Every structure is written in C-alpha cells, then in structure tokens.
A and B are shown apart, each in its own frame.
Chain A
Amino acid sequence: MSFPPHTSLFNEGNGAGAQTLDVSLGPQHPSTHGVFRMNVRMDGETIVKLQPVFGYLHRNHEKLAERNSWLGSMPYTDRLDYLCPITNNWAYAVAVEKLAGIEVPERAEYIRVIVGELTRLQNHTVFLGFILGDMGSWGSALMYAFREREKILDLFEELTGARMMVNYMRFGGVRCDFPVGWLEKARAYIETYPAFLDEMESLLVGNEILLARLQGVAPVTAERAINAGLSGPVLRASGVDYDIRKVDGYGIYPRLSFRVPRGEVGDCFDRFMIRLLEARESIKLLQQAFAQIPAGPIVNPVVKQRGFKPPVGEAYGRIESPKGELGFHLVSEGGEKPYRYHIRPPSLINLTLLEEMCLGSKLADVMVILGSIDIVLGEVDR
C-alpha cells in the first residue's frame, strides 16, 4: 500500500516567506444562504482573493418561460427569490402590464401594496435572524424572527392558499380577494409588530459584540455603489437616496406617505440598520393602506388570463423588492408565449462587488458581508 505523495496544503511562498492558503467555502455550508461557493485565498486570516462560484441552483427559468404561456410563468416567478414570492409576482405583473398597457383597478393596487409590504416585513425580519446566525449566535434571534414570520405566512395561507408559493398576482390585478376577517386579523397583527421590533432591537443593536463585528466592515462608497449597479438597502446604506417606490412611483405609492432611510458609511452595520428602519416604515405604509383601501373589482375585467396575447413590443418593468431592484425584461411577438424573458436579479447584481468588499477582511468577515448583502440563491441562479 502506498500513500499519495505528501503535498503541502499551502501554496508556494511569495519569496517574502508568506504562504497563502486556498480554501473553498463550498456549496454546502451553513452560512452561505443557499448553494453558493467561494474560492478564497487567504494570507493567514486575511483574504487576498475571492472568486464566487454559483450556478448550483440554475433551473433554466428564462428558457422555460419561452415554453410556457404568459400566465404559466407566474408560478415560476414565485420560486425566484423564494423568501419573497409576492414581490416577484408583482414585478412580473408590472412588466406585462407595461407591455400590454393594462390598467389596474384601485382596490387591486391597495391589495398589492398590503401584501407586498407584508412580504418586505417578513424578509427584513428574517434577515435580522440570519445575520445573527452567520455570526454564530446559535439561533436565538433566528427563532424569534421565524416566530413572527410564521404569523405573516399564516396570513398568506388564509389569503392565497399557500404559505410561500402564492401565485397571487394576475395581469391587471390580483387573483382573489380578502376572505372574511382577514383585514382585521392583519390589522391586529400589525399592531403587535412594533413591540417585536423593539425586542429585537434591544437584543441586537446595543450588543457590543455585534457592533464590533459589523461596524467598519466592508464600507462601500456611494459612487462605487452606483457604478456597480447596486440597488435596494445595500445602495441606500451607502448614502444614495434611490428607492424605486419613490422614483418610479408605481402603483399607489405616491398616495402613501413614508420615509426612505439612508446611511452614511455603507458598512455592514449600516446595511443592517437600514433594513430595521425600513421595516418600521413598512408598518406605517401598511397602516395607511389598511385605512384607505376602497371597495371595487380586484382584477381588470378586460384582460383574459388564458390565451393572453399582448401586442408586439418589449417592456422592462421593475419594482422595489426587499432585496433591491427586481426587473423583468419581456419581448413579445404577439403570441401566447414570450419571445424573450429576462430577469434582472438584485441579488446577483449586488454580489458583483463581493470580492472588492472582502479583500483585506478576515475570513469571519466574509460570512458577515455575504449575510449583509442578503442574497437568495434562487434569484442569483434562476
């Protein structure tokens, strides 16, 4: 029996005596938010090179959409950013409505805002939990966050029939109206939410260890963020005042008053705090929407969902999803199936700066940085 030749685990020295170590933070990992791999070269504990490798979750969504009808792609969009299926549906519906020039009735717009902001709330809540898990907090904050998220998912189940893969938006409106008592339940739940956010804040924000782990880690300047095409809370944490709900003013957002928080330094702590502040703004939006929602039809009666043939043309529709700017670029040739269907995934675009953010940091920081960008692999790989 012969043993394989003994090779050193370390690379060739660079002459100055330092040897680097190549590590693959492999696709199976408790902290990479899905099947995401990073090939990392370390000098001691410091990162000198990082190469993200993804595609482990590629499911061919864009090509499949060319086989499905326009409506048939709607359930597939649920599975993109699988933590926030409603905003994915919404982005696709907005894009198709732009392509075909469909108007959405008022009640449907209010319903969209209500379920969309609920989705944003549960995404930011669960983000708080996940980033603590990445830091090794053994899951306390994660369990509290999931306890609250379960209540929102129960609301979705009563409304649409499924907790996550809701398939709820339709072209020109939504699929079904609130069942009896849903609005009161949602209202009562939102009343209890600020107390939960306060509890999370007292657990997390003053925590010295958390401050030491998050502050000063991977700051991104505003100019760099804009050049890299970042969007969402990551962009706003770097100080850029850009929220598509304000910029595009889609739906009935212009009627609702809310503030857009932005940070100054753009490090992991700012990205963390911005999401916490955004969750509070979402609560305000929800309360206004609950108060103002009118009666009326929930879908534009002119649109036929089956056999839907939009006119020839192309459109790019985008919304502010909890991860960033989620956009759909659709090209139609007048048929029942799209000619080209392309998604602009915020998680992937936000990841392009990962190497730059991680260079010079320690290995433990890489997990925290990845967690603070808040990616979902379903979106990155499609």
Chain B
Amino acid sequence: MNFPGSGLIKGMWVTLVNGVGSFFDPQRSKRLITEQYPEERPKLAEASRSFPFLIFDNDPEAGIRCTSCKICEKECPPQCIFIEQDKDANGKLFRRPKVFNIDISVCMSCQICVEVCPFESIRMDNIYEMSSYDRFGSLVVTKAQLLKSNEYYHGIHPTEAATTDARIEAARIKKAAAAKVTAEKAAAAKAAAAAKAAEEKAVSEKAEPPQPEQTA
C-alpha cells in the first residue's frame, strides 16, 4: 500500500524498532554495543597491534635477542627507530644494542620492522594507552621500556609466539644437528688422522726391526 507519506512512516517505524529494540531486543542485534570506556576496556583481537617492543629470553641483559643489525632501522618507512651498537669491555663492537629508541609519535604501526627482523627480536605490542603530556620526552620509548620477556609475548599473541618459538627451536635444532655433523666429521677426521698416524708408526716400526735386548 503506497500512499504519499508511506515511505516516511516506514522510516519512522524502523527508527522506533531500533529505539525500543535497544532496550528489549531478544535477539540482541539491536542492543547497544557501546563499551563504556574507561570502566570497560575492549577485548582486543589476538593479532591486534599498536607499537613495537623487544623480546628477551629469561634475562633482560644477557637474553636480549636483538643483535643491533639495524635492518629494522633501515626498512622503517617513517624512520622512527634509532639504534646504537654496544661496545664490549675492550672497545670492540659487540652484537647488542646500547641505545634502541622508537619515537612513537612518528611510528605508524605498519609492522614492517617485525617482518624484516632476522632474529625474531622485535614484535608488535598491543598497549594503546600511551599518551603523555610531554611530547618530546616521553613519546620517545627507550630500550629499557621496550624490553619485555618472551612470556609476556606469549601472553598477548599466543599463536604467533608459539610459531616463533617453534621456528627458533627448529633453527636451534638445525644448527645443533649441523654442529653435530661437523663435530662428528671432525671427530672422524681426527680418528682417521690418529689411525693413520698409528699405522704409519707401525709401518715405520716394521721397517726397522726392533733392537734385540742386550742381555747375556
């Protein structure tokens, strides 16, 4: 039935259904989905990302995975990472960062640093309440603030952490197997060399008969 004005009445019916349904809808499709922040915080998806962080295994000093290779600094599109390599006690360059700063007012959460890191050491965090009153100081996040444990990583991205650990484990096993093979080869070579030396000694001993005992 289509009299002039019927479209308006249909529209008003839709609005009324939505309005009343926001209180009483049994299928819950019209109920309000507003989350009253900050009393309720949103439940983030597992893959949700905000800014990067660095991973350490067991110990923040010794277990840091980053080797200061500077690939992420080079590949970062807005150039927000600043890395300075560490020097050991003798003044020689050491594979660990002394300074690792990310300027989160520049970072656009693109995740390219994560993709290009060869050492599984930088990953995306999901904390988003990082605003501050100081634009130039506290928005540059330093190494100490960035370092978080592998357990924390498992807490926020379990699937990704599991695959990363599996990859690291596989790499370790491969390296161990390769090392074992090299060690076996080295041992075999050493054994062969030792056998050869013994054989040569035997041959040389046979060439010269042993001196008889000089007793009367």
In chain A, residues 186-203, which have Cβ atoms closer than 8 Å to a Cβ of chain B? Answer: 192, 199, 202-203
Q: Which residues of A contact B76 (CB under 8 A)?
A: 72
| B190 shortest CB reach to chain A, Å | 40
With A165-B110, A208-B4 as known contacts, state yes or no: A76 contacts B77, CB within 8 Å: yes
Question: Are A75 and B77 in touch, CB under 8 angstroms?
Answer: yes
In chain A, residues 150-181, which have Cβ atoms closer than 8 Å to a Cβ of chain B? Answer: 150, 154, 157-162, 165, 167, 175-176, 179-180
Question: Which candidate, B42-50, B137-145, B172-180, B205-213, is the interface stretch facing chain A?
Answer: B42-50
Question: Are A203 and B49 in touch, CB under 8 angstroms?
Answer: no
In chain A, residues 116-172, which have Cβ atoms closer than 8 Å to a Cβ of chain B? Answer: 140, 144, 147, 150, 154, 157-162, 165, 167
Question: Which candidate, B9-17, B58-66, B90-98, is the interface stretch facing chain A?
Answer: B9-17
| A137 shortest CB reach to chain B, Å | 9
| A142 shortest CB reach to chain B, Å | 13
Option from B29, B75, B108, B124 in Cβ contact (under 8 Å) with A306: B75
Question: Are A162 and B49 in touch, CB under 8 angstroms?
Answer: yes
In the bound complex, CA of A144 to CA of B14 (Å): 11
Indicate if B115 sits at the interface (CB-CB under 8 A).
yes
Per-residue interface assignment for chain A, residues 187 to 228, with 1 indicating a CB less than 8 Å from any chain B CB and 0 otherwise: 000001000000100111111111100000000000000000
Q: Which residues of A contact B47 (CB under 8 A)?
A: 157-161, 176, 179
Option from A72, A161, A175, A206 in Cβ contact (under 8 Å) with B124: A161
In chain B, residues 88-109, which have Cβ atoms closer than 8 Å to a Cβ of chain A? Answer: 108-109
In the bound complex, CA of A157 to CA of B47 (Å): 7
Q: Which residues of B contact A205 (CB under 8 A)?
A: 7
In the bound complex, CA of A202 to CA of B9 (Å): 10
Question: Are B6 and A206 in touch, CB under 8 angstroms?
Answer: yes
Q: Which residues of A contact B166 (CB under 8 A)?
A: none
Question: Are A211 and B45 in touch, CB under 8 angstroms?
Answer: no
Question: Are B14 and A167 in touch, CB under 8 angstroms?
Answer: no
Q: Which residues of A contact B109 (CB under 8 A)?
A: 162, 165
Indicate if B111 sits at the interface (CB-CB under 8 A).
yes
Indicate if A326 sits at the interface (CB-CB under 8 A).
no
Question: Are A75 and B108 in touch, CB under 8 angstroms?
Answer: yes
Q: Which residues of B contact A231 (CB under 8 A)?
A: none
Indicate if B116 sits at the interface (CB-CB under 8 A).
yes
With A71-B75, A75-B108, A203-B14 as known contacts, state yes or no: A150 contacts B46, CB within 8 Å: no
Question: Are A208 and B77 in touch, CB under 8 angstroms?
Answer: no
| A12 shortest CB reach to chain B, Å | 44
Question: Are A207 and B33 in touch, CB under 8 angstroms?
Answer: no
Question: Are B49 and A161 in touch, CB under 8 angstroms?
Answer: yes
Nearest residue (CB) in A for B4 is: A208
Interface residues on A, range: 35 or more
Question: Are B10 and A202 in touch, CB under 8 angstroms?
Answer: yes
Interface size of B in residues (CB-CB distance below 8 Å): 33
Question: Are B6 and A144 in touch, CB under 8 angstroms?
Answer: no
Indicate if A73 sits at the interface (CB-CB under 8 A).
yes
Option from A71, A144, A305 in Cβ contact (under 8 Å) with B18: A144
Indicate if A69 sits at the interface (CB-CB under 8 A).
yes
Nearest residue (CB) in A for B30 is: A147
Indicate if A24 sits at the interface (CB-CB under 8 A).
no
Indicate if B112 sits at the interface (CB-CB under 8 A).
yes
Question: Are B33 and A147 in touch, CB under 8 angstroms?
Answer: yes
Question: Are B110 and A167 in touch, CB under 8 angstroms?
Answer: yes
Indicate if A68 sits at the interface (CB-CB under 8 A).
yes
| B123 shortest CB reach to chain A, Å | 11
Question: Are A207 and B110 in touch, CB under 8 angstroms?
Answer: no
Question: Are B8 and A207 in touch, CB under 8 angstroms?
Answer: yes
In the bound complex, CA of A314 to CA of B44 (Å): 42
Indicate if B67 sits at the interface (CB-CB under 8 A).
no
Per-residue interface assignment for chain A, residues 35 to 50, with 1 indicating a CB less than 8 Å from any chain B CB and 0 otherwise: 0000000000000000
Q: Which residues of B contact A160 (CB under 8 A)?
A: 47
Question: Are B112 and A75 in touch, CB under 8 angstroms?
Answer: yes
Q: Which residues of A contact B11 (CB under 8 A)?
A: 202-204, 206-207
Option from B10, B49, B75 in Cβ contact (under 8 Å) with A206: B10
Option from B5, B15, B48, B115 in Cβ contact (under 8 Å) with A157: B48
Question: Are A161 and B111 in touch, CB under 8 angstroms?
Answer: yes
With A71-B75, A75-B77, A158-B47 as known contacts, state yes or no: A165 contacts B14, CB within 8 Å: no
Q: Which residues of A contact B111 (CB under 8 A)?
A: 161, 167
Indicate if B182 sits at the interface (CB-CB under 8 A).
no
Option from A71, A76, A158, A206 in Cβ contact (under 8 Å) with B45: A158
Nearest residue (CB) in B for A158 is: B45
Question: Are B77 and A72 in touch, CB under 8 angstroms?
Answer: yes
Q: Which 7 A-B pairs have the closest CB atoms?
A: A206-B7, A75-B110, A72-B77, A161-B49, A161-B47, A158-B45, A203-B14
18 chain-A/chain-B pairs, Cβ below 8 angstroms: A74-B110, A75-B108, A150-B33, A157-B47, A160-B47, A161-B45, A162-B49, A167-B111, A176-B47, A179-B47, A192-B29, A207-B11, A208-B4, A208-B5, A209-B8, A210-B7, A305-B115, A306-B115
Q: Which residues of B contact A (CB under 8 A)?
A: 2, 4-8, 10-11, 13-15, 18, 29, 33, 44-49, 71, 75-77, 108-112, 115-116, 124, 159
4 extra interface residue pairs, beta carbon distance < 8 Å, beyond A167-B111, A179-B159: A72-B76, A150-B33, A159-B47, A161-B49
